[in-house]
A and B are shown apart, each in its own frame.
Chain A
């Protein structure tokens, strides 16, 4: 292992002087051609071997090292005439505006200069940004119309972005600009925002252009043998060509007009070389009309160097594949396909104690599973293990070698699903090698990853150092993240069948013979309890998993929110009572151990620790699964069948609602409707109609609901919180309801009506997108059309929302990421600026809190009094 030998403590930025550039350059580049007919690079061409080589068979003419080892060397182009640097066009313009056109002094009196300099030094000392103050200086200096030093009247300076600067109608040539900039004193230049310690204003006008090494712009050889050059090379060729022509023309004494044209062309090429997206300049294009990607484009934006190569990097020892569910593994495990386990490896230092084990791995080689792929010798040479080399390696293996062995059961890996919106999107799991080709994960970890199995893929990273493994094990394991730092409640928990299973198991009617009970227990891989020679209730089975001494009471998800709560004697068995680790009353459903709301899980997590919580979750979900397999659950559209009588009642109700709407419309048309305060008549009518129709749907839902019982599996799923909602069911069985676009009834389409089937300005329920039918019955064409309108809006909405919230998240993270808690409890950013003296005013970590509170006082008092 190599350790960090040196640390970078700071990076200073500055401008390169022409001398710097020449000094750095190993070769002056003069010819615009790259290769000769034989394919060899031309001397003093853009591919000059002095600039470094890529091909490992060649040697760099400057440093002598082989291709791959040589990082490349800069060359330079002597520009025959100076040109402006695009990035500084605006700065140059501002500087010229602020300085005297004749003598080059800043347009301030001595006294002013002194005052401003003092202020600048002050700001620099404090480490704040100068930009704002410099802007002020530009503004102040611009308005002075007579030089305080040479008394010259100042002509107005104008800029035609990005690079042509005019002085009173005359276009300044870069040479003239450079001369002006040269005459600025160091003292003045500081005020103009150019720090004389690292830069001179005239360096913003280029006289010599650095040529990046070949390694920066490698040419690609196509299959046809044809060479394709990098965009930068293309641009440099253009620059050289024009530069050369300019020299020739000047030497030949060509007319001023031609020289100026060429000069401007040179300026164009240099400009686009730096930035091909500069406003006001047509981008330089490739032969295929694709705009060239030049320097700025390489750095900028999401695909630029900064965001995609520096802030985020591609890594080795990672794997990605489709995920699928596996209820039989623990929540902190991940099933890894053998093919992946054989590819990604863990480096193990060979020592006396593990040398035999390592030898075994080497013997297995890279094709048999618990094997190894490489060994790293004492001299740090990496050797691949082949059948042929196995024996030799085995012989030489000694403590100090590093063996890169295959991933095996029990290894810790990082598991991740994008988008990584919160820290629970990357958690450490224990590896379990499984057959087939997908990653397997326990269903309880779907919510934090926001994963489902409709083709989602996930990534896995293997730790390569012991420190990282130790850190991951104590900080990143799944059980350490059961509580979300967002609200201090559980985010990992049971979903879907776990919940309906637990309900089916623990409801009052669930009584099992001892034989059945033991089958369930066995299947759930739980410890076998003592026989009791009588029937078991499901509640007793579930109680086996609860920690001793657990006491709690709460209302279950299926609670009907009756006006008067009967507590323990709830007729729906919705009041959960746990005494001393025994489930006395109530059913287990989403509120017990579901994600986001599991109360029992939450309590176990907070009082018994993360490992106990993990155990509880693993056991209870597998009990629920074995329970559901015993009882059985299924669903079909028959679940949403309602009797003819119910249909009639619903129809009657909807009709009366529609009549009510018609009455409202009539009242409106007869001007009898009274407007709500601050609303127009139309708005009032809309609101009233919406209200009536909303009630109509709810009421028809209620009618349908009254025919559903808890023996209906769809209803079980909806009420226990396993999946779907009662609204979904009533939409299927009773009435779909009002479709909306932009938060109101549908009112778009044809002129003054939604569809040609209606009269103009018709305001009735049907004409504005109320769907009477249920999904099961089927929608008529008009309803179907309105439904599609509403559905489309929903889709568009989600698409826009993800983009917007993603950007907001990026901004938030970027703004806050440097903030941390210091040893004394203060919250500061990286500059040491104090943001808070105590985090959240009480210094409590929400992830360790009880729904945002350090302690639930009532809970403590209850506990105190129990004893």
Chain B
């Protein structure tokens, strides 16, 4: 949409203003785009606008419409047709991403930890096509442990009671690492150990502590081996693997997500880079971004299963979840649990708790919602129930 001729857009806006039509912005853009594509004459453009206006007015929602229920049904009903199969290869063959019903549930639950967080990292103008840079960034983000850069395997010398770590020069070069840096990091981690360095061979031995009478046990050595093996020498926290892909430009796909840290890195397109972790987007970018992320993720999950759901329904769900400035889940801990009506809450879940609490707090149910009115047997304030007829006094 970015490259629509501003002139045409202004022309459309002018006509729209002249006709006193109230179009949303996207309509103006769409019309302008169609105008260019189909090469409309001014007169044609005008008739088009008039016709669109007619269609637009005809298709507006009526007041009182129970759009909430319709949206909920439209999002929920396809759930029955979705697969349970958790993992699917989405776009990137090398990555597993939760999809289908479990993912949709995860989204509406507003989980703080999701089962397969993943990021798509894009680069800015200068580095879009820079393979070297992409690889360098990838190695900076990816989690690398000592295990990944070993030449062969760790050698345990039970006679000397030490561990030999032989680092492969090739591997560290490939991963843009520095040998000395690794050593210093290791030393910082294992402060009470003695280090011997010989070319690319590091020999680590636990220091004999005066308090440990029995000297170093084999067990200690083995624990040390594990410690060394899984020692992280590089990478961003919470990100495990990084996969480099070239679509139109270089893109990094990650397993694990840490938006905050990645956005701070250099050469990254801060607008395009995203994560599928909604709560992270909320904490880093704010509530509006979280709302858009919910829409994007939910819609993508549904689309992927070949189920078409109008974006407006998903928008309403997202807006309800984010209405008060924080991401609230759909369920007893979120929206349903914070409803104003006692009866509505009691009718959903945790009946006893809500009734007892209401009694000591002296809550008053104003009966403005749907279930409350159904419970007491009155017409509901929705649709035809939201209007009344008053007779004129004669």
Q: Identify the A interface with B (CB < 8 A).
A: 4, 7-15, 87-88, 91, 127, 129-131, 193-195, 197-199, 204, 275, 296, 299-301, 304, 306-307, 310-311, 421-423, 471, 475, 485-489, 676-679, 687, 743, 797, 800-802, 804-806, 808-809, 811-825, 827, 829-831, 833-836, 838-852, 854-855, 857-858, 860-861, 864-865
Residue of B at shortest CB range from A194?
B360
Looking at the assembled complex, report how far the CB atom of A31 sits from the nearest CB atom of chain B, in whole angstroms: 30
Using CB atoms, name the residue of chain A closest to B27.
Answer: A842
A-B contact pairs, 18 of them (CB 8 A): A12-B362, A91-B356, A195-B361, A197-B362, A423-B70, A804-B84, A805-B76, A816-B316, A819-B67, A820-B67, A820-B383, A838-B24, A840-B315, A846-B74, A852-B312, A857-B34, A858-B34, A860-B52
Complex Cα distance A806/B24, Å? 36
- Who on chain B is nearest to A278 by CB? B352
- Complex contact B48–A817 (CB within 8 A): no
Q: Which 7 residue pairs are nearest across A and B when measured between Cβ atoms? A: A840-B312, A819-B68, A805-B79, A809-B76, A195-B362, A855-B55, A198-B362
Contact (Cβ within 8 A) A801 B101: yes
Q: Once the chains bind, are B61 and A821 in contact (CB under 8 Å)?
A: yes
Query: Which residues on the A side are within 8 Å of B58 (C-beta)?
Result: 848
Contact of A422 among B67, B74, B324 (CB under 8 A): B74
The residue that A676 contacts in the complex, of B80, B94, B310, B363, with Cβ under 8 A, is: B94
Which residues of B sit under 8 angstroms from A129, Cβ to Cβ? Answer: 338
Q: Could you count the A-B residue pairs with CB atoms below 8 Å apart for me: how many are there?
A: 334
Interface status of B215 (Cβ within 8 A of chain A): no
Residues A812 and B76 in contact, CB atoms below 8 Å apart? yes
- Sample of 13 more A-B contacts, CB < 8 Å, known A485-B310, A827-B67, A840-B316: A296-B351, A299-B355, A486-B310, A804-B84, A806-B80, A809-B73, A817-B369, A819-B68, A840-B312, A842-B56, A845-B65, A854-B56, A855-B52
Which of B189-197, B221-229, B260-268, B340-348 contacts its partner?
B340-348
- Inter-chain contacts of A475 with B (CB < 8 A): 383-384
A822 partner residues in chain B, CB cutoff 8 A: 63
State whether B359 touches A199 (Cβ < 8 A): yes
B residues 347-386 in Cβ contact with A at 8 Å: 347-348, 351-352, 355-371, 374-376, 378, 381-384, 386
In angstroms, Cα B360 to Cα A204, docked, is 9
Shortest distance between the CB of B38 and any CB in chain A (Å)? 5
Q: Would you give the shortest CB distance from A409 to chain B, in whole angstroms? A: 27
CA distance A286 to B331 in the complex (A): 35
Which residues from A are CB-within-8-Å of B66? 817, 819-820
* B3 touches A (CB below 8 Å): no
Q: Which residues of A contact B87 (CB under 8 A)?
A: 743
- Give Cα A822–Cα B65 distance, bound, in whole angstroms: 8
Nearest A residue to B308 via CB reads A487
Instruction: Please give, as numbers and ranges, the residues of chain A lying within 8 Å of B355 by CB-CB distance.
Output: 13, 299
Chain B residue numbers with a CB within 8 Å of A824 are: 63
* Complex Cα spacing A10 to B383, Å: 21
B184 within 8 A of A: no
Inter-chain contacts of B285 with A (CB < 8 A): none
A819 in contact with B320 (CB, 8 Å): yes
From residue 201 to 252 of chain B, which have CB atoms closer than 8 A to chain A? 241-244
Q: How far is the CB of B336 from chain A (nearest CB, A)?
A: 5
Known: A8-B367, A306-B351. A678 touches B94 (CB 8 A): yes
Do A812 and B72 have beta carbons less than 8 Å apart? yes
Kindly state whether residue B126 has any CB partner on chain A within 8 Å: no
CB of B31 closer than 8 Å to a CB of A: yes
Write the chain A residue with the least CB distance to B338.
A129
CB distance from A804 to the nearest CB of B (A): 6
B170 interface residue per 8 A CB criterion:
no
Give the distance in Å from the alpha carbon of A797 to the alpha carbon of B340 in the complex.
37
Is A193 in contact with B347, judged by CB distance below 8 angstroms? no
Residues of B within 8 A of A307 (CB): 347
- State the Cβ distance, A194 to closest chain B Cβ, in Å: 5
Is B51 within 8 A of A855, CB to CB? yes
The distance from the CB of A470 to the nearest CB of chain B, in whole angstroms, is 9
B393 at interface (Cβ–Cβ under 8 A)?
no
* Contact A14 B105, CB 8 Å, known A423-B73, A678-B241, A815-B335: no
> In the bound complex, how far is the Cα of B379 from the Cα of A188, in angstroms?
41
Minimal Cβ-Cβ distance residue in B for A275: B352
Chain A residue contacts of B367, Cβ below 8 A: 8-11
The reply to whether B243 and A678 contact each other, CB–CB distance below 8 Å, is yes
Is A820 within 8 A of B244, CB to CB?
A: no
Q: Which residue of A lies closest to B386 (CB)?
A: A820
Contacts of A14 in B (CB 8 A): 359, 362
Contact at B244–A677, with CB atoms within 8 Å? yes
Nearest CB of B to A856, in Å: 9
CA distance A135 to B279 in the complex (A): 25
- Secondary structure at chain B's binding surface: helix, strand, loop or mixed? helix
Contact-size category for B? 35 or more
Contact of B365 among A11, A797, A817, A861 (CB under 8 A): A11
Q: Which of B308-323 contact A (CB under 8 A)?
A: 308-313, 315-317, 319-320, 323
- A488→B310 contact, CB < 8 A: yes
- CB contact between A811 and one of B55, B68, B101, B336 (< 8 Å): that residue: B336
**When the two chains form their complex, are residues A864 and B48 in contact, meaning their CB atoms are under 8 A apart?**
yes
Contact B74 A820 (CB under 8 A): no
Cβ of B137 to closest chain A Cβ, rounded Å: 15
Within the complex, which residue of B59, B64, B339 is in contact with A820, where a contact is CB–CB below 8 Å? B64
Tell me if B27 and A839 are in contact (CB < 8 A): no
Cross-chain contact B378 with A830 (CB below 8 angstroms): no
Residue of B nearest to A813 (CB): B72
Docked complex Cα distance between A834 and B243 (Å): 43
Most buried by B among A801, A804, A820: A820
Q: Are B316 and A819 in contact (CB-based, < 8 A)?
A: yes
**B146 located at the interface, meaning its Cβ lies under 8 Å from any Cβ of chain A in the complex:** no
Q: Report the Cα distance A767→B331, complex, angstroms.
A: 46
The reply to whether the CB of B75 lies closer than 8 angstroms to some CB of chain A is: yes
Provided the pairs A816-B72, A817-B69 are in contact, do residues A811 and B108 lie with their beta carbons within 8 angstroms? Answer: yes
**Contacting pair A861 B84 (CB below 8 A):** no
Q: Which of B51, B62, B72 has a CB less than 8 Å from the CB of A809?
A: B72
- The complex places the Cα of A197 from the Cα of B363 at a distance, in Å, of 11
Is A87's CB under 8 angstroms from B74's CB?
Answer: no
* Distance, CA A855 to CA B54, complexed state (A): 9
- Tell yes or no: B278 within 8 A of A by CB: no
Taking a contact as CB atoms under 8 Å apart, the answer to whether A421 and B59 are in contact is: no
**Given A10-B366, A193-B361, A842-B27, A808 contacting B76 (CB threshold 8 A):** yes
Asked if B351 and A299 make an inter-chain contact with CB atoms under 8 angstroms apart, the answer reads: yes
Are A861 and B48 interface neighbours, CB within 8 A? yes
Q: Is there contact, CB below 8 Å, between B61 and A804?
A: no
The answer to whether B61 touches A809 (Cβ under 8 A) is no
Given A195-B361, A815-B335, A817-B69, residue A304 in contact with residue B351 (CB < 8 A): yes
Contact A845 B336 (CB under 8 A): no
Docked pose: A739 CA to B338 CA in angstroms: 47
Are B34 and A861 closer than 8 Å at their CB atoms?
yes
Q: Decide if A13 touches B362 in the complex (CB within 8 Å).
A: yes
Cβ contact within 8 Å between A199 and B360: yes
Contact of A813 with B340 in the complex, beta carbons under 8 Å: no
The docked-state distance in angstroms from the alpha carbon of A747 to that of B94 is 21
Interface centre among A194, A814, A839 (most CB of B within 10 A): A814
Measured CA separation A13–B44 after assembly (Å) = 65
* Alpha-carbon gap, A845 to B58, bound state (A): 9
CB-CB nearest in chain A for B364: A12
| B61 close to A15 (CB less than 8 A) | no
Interface residues of B in 76-111 (CB under 8 A from A): 76-80, 82-88, 93-95, 101, 104-105, 108
In the bound complex, CA of A815 to CA of B321 (Å): 9
Nearest CB on A from B76, distance (A): 3
A813 and B310 in contact, given A4-B378, A127-B340, A860-B48 (Cβ under 8 angstroms) = no
Q: Which of A7, A809, A814 contacts B378 (CB 8 A)?
A: A7
Q: With A and B bound together, what is the CA distance between A88 and B353 in angstroms?
A: 9
Q: Which residues of the other chain, B, contact A299 by a CB distance below 8 angstroms?
A: 346, 351-352, 355
Contact of A816 among B80, B317, B352, B378 (CB under 8 A): B317
Q: With A11-B367, A687-B93 in contact, is A310–B56 under 8 Å at CB?
A: no
Cα A842 to Cα B366 in complex, Å, equals 32
